[in-house]
Amino acid sequence: MIRVLLVDDQAVVRAGFRVILEEAGDIIVVGEAGGGREAVQQARRLRPDVICMDVRMPGGDGLEATRAVLAELDPAPAVLVVTTFDLDDYVFGALEAGASGFVLKDTDPDDLVAAVRRLAAGFGLVDHSVTRRVIAEFARRRPPSTGGAAAVAALTAREAEIVRLLARGLSNAEIAAVLVVETSTVKSHLGRAMTKIGTRDRLQTVVWAYQNGVVEDRGDGGAR
């Protein structure tokens, strides 16, 4: 079962999310919090697999709570930012805080369930309305990560190639088809690359790739 902590200042929103997620059958909501500070306390106590985190809350900012949870807990839960705000700055803030995913509150219930499952499996995601351009712009606004050059140098040619294809939005199966290798081989190389660069999931790996020049933005929302 995937253990989820719901964080939102509106009880009716939490209740709705609980119904949607628990109807999936493989997800259980282990706790709720109405603000960021309470979220950190609950995360320490409950050790959820995924936290559905609101951004703006009177009981403590969700992005600050995300930073605190990810810095303190090991293993850290995946954080899915669920908000009504689709402005770029909120996406940037979520990525900077270390969130593994970002969806809007008006997303389809099935998409919310799928997002939780993806994060629990180690895959990050951004809402379909938030394009790859946002990730590239975020990376341009931030300096290269500490130790980024050394990590880039540590990647093998095949690992770097797989990271570049990942940044183009390809799945493991699609990368395998491009490189004419088995999907398991792609997964193995990607896992080693993520260990070397210190990222937790695919989304953070894509952000890292943009920040450290492994993939370049073409200026049209794509990458090469």
Which residue segments constitute the domains of the chain, with CATH numbers given?
2-130 (3.40.50.2300), 144-211 (1.10.10.10)
Percent of the chain with pLDDT over 90: 51
Over residues 184-203, mean pLDDT: 91
Whole-angstrom distance, CA of residue 3 vs CA of residue 186: 28
* Strand, helix or coil for residue 16: helix
Q: What pLDDT score does 142 carry?
A: 65
Confidence of residue 132 (pLDDT cuts 50, 70, 90): low
pLDDT above 50 (res 218): no
- Residues 76-129 have pLDDT tens digits of 999 999 888 766 667 777 777 888 888 888 889 999 999 999 899 887 776 555
* Strand, helix or coil for residue 53: strand
Q: What pLDDT score does 220 carry?
A: 43
Count of positions (residues) in the chain:
224
Whole-angstrom distance, CA of residue 103 vs CA of residue 17: 13
Q: Among candidates 154, 178, 158, which has minimal Cα distance to 168? A: 178
Confidence of residue 133 (pLDDT cuts 50, 70, 90): low
Residue 101: C-alpha distances to residues 90, 156, 200 (Å): 12, 27, 12
Q: What pLDDT score does 116 carry?
A: 95
